[in-house]
Amino acid sequence: MSWLKYYEIFLREGLFPDHESLSELLIYKDIALVHEIHGISVELGCGIARFSLILPLIVRGVNFVIGVDLEDRILIIAKKIFRKYHLYSQADFILADVRYIPLRDSSVEFVHSQGLYEHFEEPERSRVINESARILKRGGFMLCFVPNKLSIFYEILRRKEKLLSRIHHPLYEIPFTIKEITIILNKTNITIIERGGIVTNSLLVYLAYFLEKLGKKLNLSLFIKRIGISRSKGLLGIILGRQIYCLGVKR
């Protein structure tokens, strides 16, 4: 499946249609309430820039957003979405390789990504993370989501997709443990101030999400509305969460 077809799912079903994207959205909102995120925000590997779209709406201090991606057709879609929501004057989109970001050192206040770093092997993986930190100002925030190597749900789905050649992402994924992503970020002068995983208030949501990914037709939104979603900074999120996240500040 190409990236274009992957993002067409969101255009067809809504920008935040499933448990995973709604959970990430919740974390963005919670972090915005606690920390003083402001200024210019950059979303790396932005795709249709869903999370950049919501930043000016939920974070008053964010006055401009930049999306960076290597797919020009997807960036065209992102621009159309921003025009639809009357936010195009507050955004810019850059066609570029995230290993060579065409922005100055220490030029932005917030860098974020969802599902980016796992698509690179070393040494490119470290290069992308170094680039993410390079453009960030001292005291600026970095937020990243990556797949969890410890999650049995993620590992079973990954093996199933590989076996059936039904890969949702066009690039091979190399997941992280929370310790691995923390060590790499620390090497780039990023001090981790919060980390955890995406969890729910009931394992029923995990089961529903898992079955849906296996091809079962379920109304997952019903589970989400009745049970709720949260993040966990403890072992529950780090072990069970399909996605883990780190929030850091540049030293």
Average pLDDT over residues 51-67: 90
Which residues, in sequence order, are CB contacts of 239 under 8 Å at separation 6+? 148, 150, 151, 197
Q: Indicate the pLDDT class of residue 91, thresholds 50, 70 and 90.
A: very high
Distances (CA, A) of 142 to 28, 108, 183, 210: 12, 10, 14, 29
**Under a CB-based contact definition with an 8 Å cutoff, are residues 207 and 164 in contact?**
no
pTM of the predicted protein model: 0.83
pLDDT over 80 at 203, yes or no: no
Domains assigned to the chain: 3-250 (3.40.50.150)
Residue 167's pLDDT is what? Answer: 45
Q: What phi, psi does 191 have (nearest 5°)?
A: -95, 120
pLDDT tens, 119-143? 998 899 999 999 999 999 999 999 9
